[in-house]
Amino acid sequence: MTKPRVLIADAMSPLAAETFRARGVQVDVKTGLAPDELVAILKDYDGLAVRSATKVKAATLANAARLKVIGRAGIGVDNIDVAAATTRGIVVMNTPYGNSITTAEHALALMMALARQIPEANASTRAGKWEKNAFMGVELMGKTLGIVGCGNIGSVVADRAQGLKMKVIAYDPFLSPDRAADLGVEKVEFDDLLAHADFISLHTPLTDATRNILNAKSLAKTKKGVRIVNCARGGLIVEADLKAAIESGQVAGAALDVFAEEPARANPLFGVPGVVVTPHLGAATAEAQEKVALQVAEQMADFLLTGAVANAVNMPAMTAEEAPKLRPYMKLAEQMGSFAGQATETAIKAVTVEYEGLVAGLNTKPLTAVVLKGLLSPQLETVNMVSAPAIARERGLDVREVRHERAGAYQTLIRLTIVSETQTRAIAGTLFNDEPRIVDIKGIPIDARLGPHMIYVTNRDKPGFIGALGTLLGNANINIATFSLGREKPGGDAITLIEVDHPIDEGMVARIRALPQVMRCKPMRF
């Protein structure tokens, strides 16, 4: 088996390359590549590891047919076109935990520097002045810290701030009341945070919902004299509006590690009194750089070698422990999706995937993604489990996932229901000794194994049909591997699933359709 090959395109700790090699992954370190150079060589790699310097755009991926995973040694993926990667079926991973402590500590350092005007006092003293009365600061103890985004980093900041005897309030739509209680913070609405915080620290990702979250309108709602810290993303603040708020006295000062445009050679806030700035140092400690390098290499190696998915921003997570348990179900899920996709000839409007019994207790998100891959594959050549959910959203498919932990007729069961423009079709499958089996099609019980070449026939349950169909195939020298039957009721609708050794041509399809009892014949491939 050929070893997977990874390109490290940005400077990072040597631990990354060492980890890849120790895991049996080929690795090349080529930093500082021009965009056209990266495009030219990326076609030879299964994985790409970057930090923030390399910009991975849609054009970068245009010829990267072999690429399966992009790993970002850090939290933000702003330098990666995630949508383009997803469309091409490339997993994008980050390392959200490796620099949490370092970034949180930097935010607190900036908060203290801002509160005590340390940069200005340092510059004044180094210049030979002794302006002891010029730098009147404020204490942190007893002040209210408002945290916007209380995830990995924000929660660490909250913990450390409480150690400084600060009151902590937090705005985060995804923060549950139980989690807020565990952290010892008060969950509030955004306007309440603005009105009551003495310090505001930003720790939210840059999304459409958070872009420019601090602007002229929101800054006007802040408590007069508030101090603002941003170690998250520059695009969270309208910098010109913050400058105006500082100059008006509404905001006492700001400490910024990130900017709307980086590298920030010039900025409206540079030179403004009361502003502390650093050049994106949030993750700049030796410990953090080693952690993220190690983590990104381990995550990418796990994915390339075992299929385990951790900290992916564009597909469901699946641990190395989960992968073996899910593997037979993934085969079943893909077969079921493919069957429904091949059988459906009009536009699909809605998809419901139900998990019953043992499978309901597993991580079903990857299974749903695989179902969608199988469903869309008959129409799209390049779809995979990464791109399928995004394509389904783009096409307006209503996708639902339902779990029934109870066991029914089978210990474990997946049921897929497709609503198209003309009908609703359902198919159910289970595992027998980890082998996928189809056990129900359109409400008709059946016991069928799907092979590479199948013939799907719907017919009326009449005497002589099986003999006529078998004779037709035999006369054409078509060998039957398996022959599965199911019927609604005696004399009613019936289903025949036949596995044959080789694909049948259109002529044979037409001859099967011409049999008196046949309502439909569809060749399928799996």
pLDDT of residue 127: 95
Alpha helices for 23-176 (secondary structure H)? 35-42, 82-87, 100-116, 118-126, 152-163
Distance from C-alpha of 342 to C-alpha of 441, rounded to nearest angstrom: 13
Q: What pLDDT score was predicted for residue 307? A: 82
Residue with tokens 């799209």: 380
Q: pLDDT at position 76, please? A: 79
Chain centroid to CA 385: 11
Query: Residue 362 in contact with residue 329, Cβ under 8 Å?
Result: yes
Residue 309 DSSP code: B
> How far apart are alpha carbons 427 and 336 in whole angstroms?
7
From 88, 233, 437, 453, the catalytic residue: 233
pLDDT tens-digit series, residues 132-173: 889 999 999 999 999 999 988 999 999 999 999 999 999 988
Asked if residues 438 and 429 have their Cβ atoms less than 8 Å apart, the reply is: yes
Kindly state the greatest CA–CA separation across the chain: 107
Contacts of 412 by beta carbon, 8 Å cutoff, 6+ apart: 356, 357, 358, 359, 430, 431
Fold identical between 5-96+287-306 and 100-277?
Answer: yes
CATH H-level superfamily of 315-439 = D-3-phosphoglycerate dehydrogenase; domain 3 (3.30.1330.90)
Residue type, 142: G
- CATH number of the 443-526 domain: 3.30.70.260
Ordered by start, the domain boundaries in the chain are: 5-96+287-306, 100-277, 315-439, 443-526
Superfamily of domain covering 100-277: NAD(P)-binding Rossmann-like Domain (3.40.50.720)
5-96+287-306 CATH fold? Rossmann fold (3.40.50)
Instruction: Report how far residue 97's alpha carbon sits from residue 213's, in angstroms, rounded to the nearest whole number.
Output: 24
What per-residue confidence (pLDDT) applies to 382? Answer: 61
* pLDDT for 324: 82
Q: What is the DSSP string of 381-404?
A: SS--TTHHHHHHHHTT-EEEEEEE
Looking at beta carbons, which pairs linking 166-170 to residues 24 or more positions away fall under 8 Å? 166/140, 166/141, 166/142, 166/199, 167/142, 167/143, 168/144, 169/144, 169/145, 169/193, 169/196, 169/197, 170/146
Q: Which of 280, 403, 404, 487 is catalytic?
A: 280
In this prediction, residue 381 carries a pLDDT of: 58
| Active site (annotated) includes residue 262 | yes
Determine the pLDDT at residue 393: 83
Q: For 222-268, what is each residue's pLDDT tens digit?
A: 999 999 999 999 999 999 999 999 999 999 999 999 999 998 999 99
Write out residues in the chain with pLDDT < 70, as ranges: 1, 320, 380-382
Q: What pLDDT, on a 0 to 100 scale, did the predictor assign at position 511?
A: 95
Of 131, 139, 247, 262, the catalytic one is 262
Cβ contact 104:160 at 8 Å:
yes
Residue whose C-alpha is closest to residue 237's, from 269, 263, 266, 264: 269
What is the predicted pLDDT for the residue at 177? Answer: 85
Q: Judge whether 500 and 480 are in contact, CB under 8 Å.
A: yes
3-state SS assignment for residue 477 = coil
Q: How many CB atoms lie within 10 A of CB 30?
A: 12
